[in-house]
Structure 1
Amino acid sequence: MAKHLTDDDIEKIVDILDNWSVETKLTWDRLVDSVQHGLGIETTRQTLSKQKRIKDTFKAVKAIVSGNTKPVDKTLPSSLKIAAQRIEALERKVERLERENHELLEQFHVWLYNADRLKITIEQLNSPLPRKTH
């Protein structure tokens, strides 16, 4: 049975996508298998695709994997192949984080506009969250 994904689970799943090999076809089923084997999380395609961060990252990586036409250089030493794969994964992660940051900044501007329009003060916005009582 699929479980509810926590923020930590989502972060780990997005990390799996960031590190997905461009030489391996990306499908929702393969991602589900990778999540189950790599993280021990039993989930479904539907559960994964409901999460915006996972869905957006999946689309971006899928486009990269689908557009991968460069052949693997068989003459490179394995250490260089591994390094090249690591660099590519980090570049994808940077692109994803920049995209997410841009989206958060856009959301912040919407909130700022609405707060100003509704005369909400900075003190009100900065008030701490209520504490949970047990």
Structure 2
Amino acid sequence: MKKNRAPDLTPQQIEAALDTLDTWRGKLTWELLLDKLEEQWGSRYSRFTLSSYEQVALAFSNRKNSLSGTLPKSRGVPADARLRAALEQTERLKAKAGRLEVENARLLEQFVTWAHNAERKGVTMDMLNAPLPKPDRDRSKGVA
């Protein structure tokens, strides 16, 4: 029997996968992540599919590294629910900030590469920084 192919990932699903990684606690493997995402989405994706999205692959690697090096020794769980929620939110935001810093550094490196290659082809920074033309919204499509 032929297996049904999972639908293409949407930008919202990619963002959800990144959020899942940002909030991940405990052991992290691709299989565990795929299991968790299958629970959320109802479709099973392969490691190959998910890791082909560079943002997800970088976030997975970054989160795995942060979890392996900084897991706190068992300090106990605060009794106050508000304090627990605040600590969980802090952890999630720290993880997201770390992921975004890595992503930002990669984009800055890509920008430098593009600028260098453009300059080699005779494209100046002034040409690259020229404003985009304004759309001609007043002209009707049918009028020549």
TM-score, normalising length: structure 2: 0.73
Greater length-normalized contact order (CA 8 Å, ≥ 6 residues apart): 1
Identify which of 35, 51, 54 aligns with 2:53. 51
In the alignment, the residues of structure 1 paired with residue 89 and residue 105 of structure 2 have an alpha-carbon distance, to the nearest angstrom, of 24
TM-score, normalising length: structure 1: 0.78
Distance 1:9 1:74, change over 3 A: closer
Q: CA deviation at 1:9?
A: 2.3
2:78/2:84 contact within 8 Å kept: no
Aligned length: 126
Match of 1:89 in 2: 92
Distance 1:44 1:78, change over 3 A: same
Structure 1 residue ranges without an equivalent (≥5): 129-134
Structure 2 residue ranges without an equivalent (≥5): 134-144
1:2/1:43 contact within 8 Å kept: yes
Moved over 4 A (4+): 123-128
State which structure, 1 or 2, has the greater radius of gyration over its C-alpha atoms: 2
CA RMSD of aligned residues (A): 2.4
Match of 1:113 in 2: 116
Identify which of 6, 11, 16 aligns with 1:7. 11
